[in-house]
Amino acid sequence: MNSLDLAEIDAVVLAGGLGTRLRSVVADRQKAFASVANEPFAARIFRQLRRAGVRRIVFALGHLADSAAPILDQWRCERGPEILTSIEPTPLGTGGALRHALPQLHSSTVLVLNGDSYVEADLAALLATHRAARAAITLCAVQVTDVSRYGALAFDRDGRYVSAFREKQASGGCGWINAGIYLIEREVIAAIPDGRAVSLEREVFPAYTDGRIAARCESRHFIDIGTPETYAAGADFFARVA
């Protein structure tokens, strides 16, 4: 699978969340654009997509959207993917924000990434998995030593499809989690209710655990910056994975 395949697929970066838990340390900007190791966190996602050959990226913005504008304008000046924005009028959640961006999406399959988490996933291999499985949704999964913050994935007997999304549990332990990178067919996005808050993780994905969500498990380092503690750990994380 080469980069030309990804060049035909639009990407959406979900970067509109309220970032409530981070406000004590990042109050003036959207968390995906907060500085981590001297550059906006989302810069790593942008470079990841550019390296993969993606030619068209829609940033789904909402809370503090204006704080992203100068950064996106700078990236537009570089030779690289076309950059567009979709700004939600009210908080719509991950699913609602993706549905709101649909008019700007041209491809039949859409690459979706959470703007506040990062894993150096093999995006071409994720696409190969998606096509081979003929899935409605394919997600990237990573293994962590403590699933208590995330909730864990359950798989079918062959380990190819997600059979359940387990809620966060205090017991924690090692397990596979949703890494926040998806390939989603356009008709799945179109079926999301328009104009209201919808969660991909809690409302959309569970409806497809009947053999329509494939998974690619990656042994990769993963970080999300959703809490002050993980945000503070970002610099060390990128120093290790650089």
How do residues 196-232 score in pLDDT, each as one tens digit? 999 999 999 999 999 999 999 999 999 999 899 999 9
Sign of CA dihedral 219, 225, 230, 232: positive
Residue 214 is encoded by which pair of tokens? 């494939």
Is the confidence at residue 9, as pLDDT, over 90? yes
Residue 145 is encoded by which pair of tokens? 């030593």
The pLDDT tens digits of the residues spanning 45-102 come to: 999 999 999 999 999 999 999 999 999 999 999 889 999 999 999 999 999 999 999 9
Residue 170 pLDDT: 63
- Section 1-8 average pLDDT: 70
Q: For Cα atoms 179, 199, 218, give the angle at the middle one, nearest 5 degrees.
A: 10
The pLDDT tens digits of the residues spanning 94-145 come to: 999 999 999 999 999 999 999 999 999 999 999 999 999 999 999 999 999 9
As a residue count, the chain comes to 242
Residue 204 is encoded by which pair of tokens? 């959309």
Is the confidence at residue 1, as pLDDT, over 50? no
Only one residue has tokens 């329509």, namely 212
* Nearest-10 Cα torsion for 205, 206, 209, 214: 20
d(CA 196, CA 194): 6
Collapsing DSSP to helix, strand or coil, 181 comes out as strand
Under a CB-based contact definition with an 8 Å cutoff, are residues 180 and 130 in contact? no
Residue 242 pLDDT: 64
Query: What stretches of 55-210 show up as alpha helix (H) in DSSP?
Result: 69-76, 93-101, 123-133, 186-190
pTM for this model (two decimals): 0.94
Closest of 168, 163, 164 to residue 148, by C-alpha: 168
The pLDDT tens digits of the residues spanning 13-46 come to: 999 987 778 888 777 789 999 999 999 999 999 9
Between 43 and 157, the higher pLDDT residue: 43
- Section 171-193 average pLDDT: 94
d(CA 148, CA 102): 33
